[in-house]
Amino acid sequence: MTGDPNSSQDKLQDIRLGHADRGFVGKIIRLDALVTGSSLSPKELEQRLVEMGFVEGARVEILHEGTIRRDPIAVRVDNITIALRRSEAMAVIVE
Amino acid sequence: MTTASLRLALVGAPNTGKTSLFNSLTGSRQKVANYPGVTVERKSGGFVTPEGRSVTVLDLPGTYSLRGRSPDEEITRDIVLGRFDGEAVPDLVLCVADATNLRLTLRLVLELKRVGRPMMLVLNMIDIAKRRGVTIDLDRMSQELGLPIVTSVAVRKGGVDELLKRTDEFLAKSHEAAASQWTTPTIADLKAAQREADRIIAAAVTLPTKPDTLTNRIDSVVLHPVWGLIILAVILFVMFQAVFTWAQPAMELLSGGFAALGQLIHDLLPESWSLLQSFLQNGLISGVGSVIVFLPQIIIIFLFILLLEDFGYMARAAFLMDRIMGGAGLHGRAFIPLLSSFACAIPGIMATRVIDNRRDRLTTILIAPLMTCSARIPVYTLIISAFVPATTLWGFVNLQGLVMFGLYAAGITSALTVSAIAKFFLWRDHAPAPFMLELPDYKVPRLRSIAIGVLNRAKMFLYRAGTTILSMMVLIWFLASFPTAPAGAEGPAINYSFAAMIGHALEPLLRPIGFNWQIAVALIPGMAAREVAVAALGTVYSIEGGKEAAEQIGQVLAQKWTLATALSMLVWYIFAPQCASTLAVIRRETGGAKWMVVTFLYMLALAYAASFLTFNLAQALGLH
């Protein structure tokens, strides 16, 4: 129990980017495209997210939200800004 | 290798300034066509290097990877891999990167390297990178990547000099293409490549301590949930004011000019050559005129679209509208093309090129003609002023204005419904394209690049749509003029023509929707352009032209038509595919007749059904 106290705490704080609010700042832990609201197959969705720079360790920040149901969102991924729908952002696990 | 023209291909992610680089390399020596069999634009051009090598450049569709998830991206992949039929493999691949934003492009570079073609990396927009305090160790990066690197400022004069020099040096030596080791990357490959790209960036690039905040500051207003929509509305308002008010004088000048030219030709020819007179005046010159009269609107709309695109706003407009459009199964990017269609469906359909997913683009093209274009206004105003009393409802609503509003609303509602139906029936088995796009940093628009873009659109419209439209105009003239009236015949000559025969033949079909044979006849020249139907009705009812013609037509119609017929005609015009030009543009933009026929038939069916309902309902209600 005297190990790294942060690691277990971080586990609890893992959330899906699709649930995060504007102003959220965090780091990508992993991608999990199995259960999302996206119409894409999990594999295709993961591939596209990686192509847009959503890789483990990248810093993410939600900069802006759309008008209706706060969707889509504009996310700063390291030093680029990507707009995507919350349903696809569900595949991004962040801390 | 030095005698034949060398082939260069530009590859890069979207928003890297690839197109402005292409523009500054080739200037106006560009050719825009379609790749055979697909609706993807093929942009090629040529230039001569300082040492006199003649080079052809191909601007390949932007892509984040060679995976080829859309027809555009497949073309980029196949050409780079040298397996595209009818397209030679490039001698040199220029991979274009935005120097301020290297992450995604460097991963693409690593993927392209596996293809083994001779390649050079162009770090574009190096001036912006320097200004922001991004320093790039070019030697280090070149060494890490194993590629020559050159910097450029595509938008500045002399900004590509170094690129030209290095291209010469590169081409002076002979380069052997290595065997391609490229395979479709798996997710693991992509992640590994991204890690490698990030490692190289960490080694060779120093990012400023303070990131660019200007884009952020602009976005906090422009993408604001409330202010963002208001700003979008204001931009669109200005755009439409411009389309209607700036284009109007030019359009009137053009149509007046063509009318005068037609009259001049008419007067110059002897009266005995009446057939040639009529062909030149009513067929050829008015045919050409009816095409060219759209040009001012097309130029203004594309000027706005390209300016906003270059500034970086278009991606933001798509962001703001995505959820609102998504309800009807439309992509956020469909917004501007559909809005342009209120002026005229032709630039609207041409503007659908910003939608990269083919199915989303086809849906948008399909419904664009349902947006009430400006050519319907003369028909609407004629019938409304003749049949709808100018009474005031509830103290402040003008009934005529209300009907006009209803016609617009009916067009929009039906467009959204058709889109939702198309999504459900046509594309049910296909996953809709997700909305995932880069919001590029704002940049000052590059006027030269925009000018070239507007010029290309204008040329494309004139040359290619022009030929189809013109031939249809000549056909319609032929139908309305032959056979000629026998000597001493009563009534207008059009009553003896093929158009009249077709009109009479169609009359039984059109009777259920309340149209008489005169309307059927007028609909045929009305295919040339919707507003021509007004003049054609005048001809059929033997009204001499002139300033007061429209008013007179209205009076005659009010006597000869029932209210039910008039309402049926109004509804017909919401839906009917009454515009040869639009159909010709759909054919060209979709690369074949199929979608033109689909559009024509579905609109015709809608028009008939809606008019049938309207007419019978109106009769049942006793509106005579």
The 10s digit of each residue's pLDDT in B533-557 is 776 776 666 554 444 555 677 788 8
Binning pLDDT at 50, 70 and 90, where does residue B39 land? Answer: low
Confidence band, pLDDT 50/70/90 cuts, at residue B2: very low
Q: Has residue B209 got a pLDDT over 70?
A: no
Q: Nearest CB to B319: which of A47, A48, A66?
A: A66
Give the pLDDT mean for A76-85.
90
- Which chain B residues are closer than 8 Å to A46 by Cβ? 187
pLDDT computed for residue B624 by the predictor: 63
Query: Is the pLDDT reported for residue A8 higher than 50?
Result: no
> Residue B108: pLDDT above 90?
yes
| Nearest CB to A50 within list B191, B315, B322 | B191
B386 pLDDT band, cuts 50/70/90, is: confident
List the single residue in B101, B190, B436 with the smallest CB-CB distance to A80.
B101
Mean pLDDT confidence for B325-350? 82
Task: Tell me which of A61 and B526 has the higher pLDDT.
Answer: A61
**CATH superfamily entry for domain A5-94:** Ferrous iron transport protein A (FeoA) (2.30.30.90)
- Rounded Cα distance between A37 and A16, Å, is 12
Residue B103 contacts A, CB cutoff 8 Å: yes
* CB-CB under 8 Å, B211 with A83: no
CATH fold label, B6-211 = Rossmann fold (3.40.50)
The domain spans of chain B are 6-211
DSSP secondary structure letters along B414-447: HHHHHHHHHHHHTSTTSPPPP-EEE-PPP----H
Which pLDDT does position B14 carry in this prediction? 84
* Weakest mean pLDDT among A16-20, A23-27, B468-472: B468-472
Q: Which has the higher per-residue pLDDT, B607 or B546?
A: B607
What is the H or E stretch that residue B119 is in? strand B119-124
Give A-chain residues touching B319 at CB under 8 angstroms: 64, 66, 72, 74, 83
pLDDT over 70 at B194, yes or no: yes
pLDDT digits (tens, 9 = 90+) for B60-72: 988 998 988 777 7
- Which bin fits A38, alpha (ψ -120 to 50), beta or left (φ > 0)? beta
Asked if B146 is an interface residue toward chain A (Cβ–Cβ < 8 A), one would say no
User: Is the per-residue pLDDT at A66 higher than 80?
Assistant: yes
Alpha-carbon Rg for chain A in angstroms: 13
Q: What is the pLDDT of residues B251-294, one digit of tens each?
A: 888 888 888 888 898 888 887 787 788 778 777 777 677 667 77
Model confidence at B618: pLDDT above 80:
yes
Q: Which residue out of B110, B210, B221, B323 would a mutagenesis test of the A interface target, given it has the greatest number of A Cβ atoms within 10 Å?
A: B323
| Residue from B70, B439, B441 to probe the interface with A (highest A Cβ count within 10 Å) | B439
A5: preceding bond cis by omega (within 30 degrees): no
Rounded Cα distance between B203 and B326, Å, is: 43
- pTM attached to this predicted model: 0.80
Average pLDDT rounded to a whole number, residues B397-426: 85
Cα gap B597→B584, rounded to integer Å? 10
Q: How many residues does chain A have?
A: 95
Phi, psi torsion values for B215, nearest 5 degrees? -55, -45
Q: Read off the pLDDT of each residue in B347-370 and give the average, rounded to a whole number.
A: 85
Mean pLDDT of B323-332: 82
Phi (first) and psi of residue B64, to 5 degrees: -90, -20
Q: In chain B, what percentage of residues exceed pLDDT 70?
A: 91
Tokens 């590059």 locate to: B446
CB neighbours of residue B476 within 10 Å? 22
Average pLDDT score over chain B: 83
Contact between B434 and A38 using a beta-carbon 8 Å cutoff: yes
B560 touches chain A (CB under 8 A): no
**What pLDDT, on a 0 to 100 scale, did the predictor assign at position B621?**
84
pLDDT at A37: 76
Q: Answer yes or no: is pLDDT of B303 > 50.
A: yes
Kind and range of the H or E element at B136? strand B135-136
Domain limits, chain A: 5-94
Cβ <8 Å between A51 and B103: no
Q: Choose from B101, B187, B207, B324 for mutation: most chain A CBs within 10 A.
A: B187
Q: Give the residue with greater pLDDT, B291 vs B173.
A: B173
pLDDT of residue B1: 42
Q: Which residue has the higher pLDDT, A1 or A71?
A: A71
* Chain B partners within 8 Å of A49 (Cβ): 436
Q: What is the rounded average pLDDT of the residues B80-103?
A: 89
